Structure 1
């Protein structure tokens, strides 16, 4: 039996003696019946849009509101703890330095694991990769130093993203800040801006929307394309505008969210679809995915459904992890539009394609929890998903 506190327990704890159930419902713009059912355990979860509203009403982040998803204990011991130690550099590592060839391969391998959703594998491999790259950088000469700076920056950057998804924001922040500092030494402002964009994304995940907006827009301004610009510069600039739009959407600012989405769409029309620049993905398909996510955050499910159908090449043009994230949004939309069977089928395909990612993300839990309160609740396929995610 799980010893985790339920969402209802967390809501009750956070509102405490400050708000009654009715007062909380009024602040969130939701039905008091929903708040009551959550606290009584009659509902185990609710829609993503409602979760955002409850979190804002309680003046906490979404991450603070939701009960963390557990990672298997052996993975914590062997992976996350070691990774936390590796990104929190103290002194000079004594590991065998990575060769130049190993350094170049490490960044390719790390991003491959990240984009394919193999975060469990990354947890095992990253600590040693980071230590060996740190040793290589410490021992490098002036000629080789840029190679180690680039590779270590990229690996720490990816490690920060993995740690964010596994709910270790403090270690993720350390890893990403070091990645930004190392990239700055290389004198590549676009790469530095891309790494900073990753930090802006972390702030969105943490519910620090105003900070994410400020960081995204100030960083975008620092690389704004002029008469002479590169495709990479355009891609990273557009991605930063999307971060601003996404953070405004999650804060409930529809006008600003759509403004930055439209600006990013104009940039996307000028670059190849699915362009990878400094491990930042951009293009028309990325716009469709982010448009879907932004519309869901705003509770505009009809607009989100339309946006999800505008992806030029379909979800398969995106990396596996991004496909899974977008398909989870689609599963939510099928649920909202009365197509529970399609929602269940899509969630099952995600579970098979990226099982570790699926088990350790909040959105699939929310969708499965909602599906359990529909006529499809007796579906064997849905029951299997519920057991996998420990949702009741």
Structure 2
């Protein structure tokens, strides 16, 4: 299959565009187009590729065989090395036989750490929990559900920290342990998010819609658990579609997700599982995300005014991802001070989460890139988010 640069160049010529003409239509620099066509840039954001696809009037996936997702930072890899060993079963046997009750209690007691993005503390306890879960299942198959739940969380966290191979491995193992279709659907939703972060848009869209069709409930009798599973799969499909330059499909699926949210009434967390929190606010934040992907900063700021982010936990991943969109919208509207203040707020509320966000680094780079001098606060934040020089 042709490389990215060759595909962009081929389609550009078929459209009768010069490199400068394509750059003007896509709202990017001609220098970027030249580098992409020479395959001299491999770290381009998926959202930038979407702009080029829109200008060329093709799906994003027609330009990319597989987007080269940015890997985890070396500091991140060092932190999670013991967890990766335990996940792959490379550690020795446990010294004391675990029990299902003990593992379940340990997992339950750890949930505040997951909800509050306490990555360092989670990394310290996970190796033991993973070893105990594997040892327990060898003697008690009824513990597979607990191990599946743990592996789902590990897959989510590996996706969050950009350790994509380990995320795929953990989520595949989690699916093997699932015996409830709604638990499986929640795991699939996380898998779709992993595919999105890797730029595997068509896979994510098809997987989400296939499972959404399978778990679609009868709205009049649906439980919050059912509505959450269905709604999240629809949101994943919409996210993939909008990134793949399929706006009509993205609108249709997010409209269906809003139907599920309205039936939910308000944002709820089925089974106290923070990964399944779903409702009208969640869907509203995803509408903002889609608007940002469509390069509509004015719409982002307009929609965001109706979202009560102060009612959400400061450590909520969806809340903080939404605030990054707000910061980027301010930046694109040349409101750099407001954008920087939003980033500082996210750092205050979710510091360990923020250091794993390439989006945050890109926003900050855009804020400080053309300044002659930086304030002390800007330099400090650049160091904090590991922004390259």
TM-score by length of 2: 0.82
Give, in whole Å, the separation in 2 of the partners of 1:219 and 1:272. 23
Whole-angstrom CA distance in 1 between matches of 2:146 and 2:372: 48
* Residue pair 1:116, 1:321 contacting (<8 A) in 2 also: no
Q: Match for 2:157 among 142, 152, 162?
A: 162
Matched residue, 1:151: 146
Query: Does structure 2 retain, via aligned residues, the 8 Å contact 1:159–1:172?
Result: yes
- The answer to whether 1:70 aligns with 2:63 is no
2:357 equivalent among 358, 361, 386: 361
Q: 1:88 is matched with which residue?
A: 88
1:25–1:32 Cα contact (<8 Å) kept: no
Q: Secondary structure at the match of 1:270?
A: helix
**CA distance 1:273–1:314, shift in 2 (3 Å):** farther
CA 137–303 in structure 1, closer or farther in 2 if over 3 Å, else same: same
Mapped to 2, the partners of 1:273 and 1:93 lie a distance apart of 46
Q: What SS does structure 1 have at the residue aligned with 2:269?
A: strand
Do the aligned partners of 2:208 and 2:236 also contact (CA within 8 Å) in 1? yes
Write out per-residue CA displacement over residues 37-90 of structure 1, whole angstroms, 9 at most, x where no aligned residue. Answer: 989xxx9x988732544694852555x164x45241xx534x422222322247
1:49 is matched with which residue: 47, 50, 55?
47
Q: Does residue 263 of structure 1 match 2:256? A: yes
Q: Tell me the distance in 2 between the aligned counterparts of 1:175 and 1:301.
A: 36
For residue 244 of structure 1, what is the aligned residue in structure 2?
237
Which residue of structure 2 lines up, in the alignment, with residue 303 of structure 1? 299
Structure 2 contact 151–174 (Cα < 8 Å) conserved: yes
SS of corresponding position for 1:234: helix
Unmatched 5+ residue regions in structure 1?
A: 1-12
Give yes or no for the alignment of 1:291 onto 2:291.
no
User: How high is the TM-score relative to the length of structure 1?
Assistant: 0.81
Segment of structure 1 superposing worse, 377-386 or 241-250: 377-386
Bigger mean CA offset, 46-55 vs 149-158: 46-55
Other structure's SS at 2:178 match: helix
Aligned equivalent of 1:206 = 198
Q: Secondary structure at the match of 2:334?
A: coil
Distance in 1 (alpha carbons) for counterparts of 2:101 and 2:66: 42
Number of residues paired by the alignment? 365
Q: What per-residue deviation string (whole Å, max 9, x for no partner) do you get for residues 199-220 of structure 1?
A: 1111111111111111111111
Q: 1:368 to 1:135 in 2, by over 3 A?
A: same
Q: Does residue 171 of structure 2 align to residue 173 of structure 1? A: no
Counterparts of 2:213 and 2:105 in 1: how far apart (Å)? 32
1:59 matched to which residue of 2?
A: 64
Match status 1:235 vs 2:228: yes
Deviation at 1:300, TM superposition (A): 2.0
Q: Deviations for 1:133-152, whole angstroms, at most 9, x for unmatched residues?
A: 11122222xxxx53x22221
Task: Please say if residues 238 and 268 of structure 1, whose CA atoms lie closer than 8 Å, have aligned partners that are also in contact.
Answer: yes
Q: Which runs of 5+ in 2 are unaligned?
A: 13-17, 54-59
Distance 1:376 1:156, change over 3 A: farther
Q: Quick check: 1:127 aligned with 2:122?
A: no
Change (3 A) 1:290 1:106: farther
Q: CA deviation at 1:240?
A: 0.7
Note the C-alpha offset of 1:229: 3.0
Q: 1:65 to 1:139 in 2, by over 3 A?
A: closer
Q: Distance in 2 between matches of 1:35 and 1:224?
A: 43
Please name the residue that 2:32 is paired with.
Answer: 35
What SS is found at the alignment partner of 1:344? helix
C-alpha spacing 1:95/1:294, structure 2 compared with 1 (3 Å) = farther
Shift of residue 249, structure 1, vs aligned partner:
1.0
Alpha-carbon separation, structure 2, partners of 1:136 and 1:92: 14
CA distance in 2: counterparts of 1:47 and 1:302, whole angstroms: 21
Deviation at 1:24, TM superposition (A): 9.5
With 215-224 and 79-88 compared, the bigger mean Cα shift is at 79-88
- Higher RCO, 1 vs 2 (CA within 8 Å, ≥6 residues apart): 1
Residues 343 and 315 (structure 1), Cα distance of their counterparts in 2 relative to 1, 3 Å cut: farther
Contact 1:15-1:24 within 8 A present in 2 as well = no
CA 1:301 to 1:48, structure 2 compared with 1: closer, same or farther past 3 Å?
farther
Equivalent of residue 212 in structure 2, options 209, 212, 220? 220
- In the superposition, relative to structure 1, how do residues 69 and 369 fare at CA in structure 2: closer, same or farther (>3 Å)? farther
Name the CA shift for 1:36/1:249 in 2 (closer, same or farther; >3 Å): closer
Answer whether contact 2:156 2:190 (CA < 8 A) is retained: yes
Q: Aligned-pair distance for 1:358?
A: 1.4
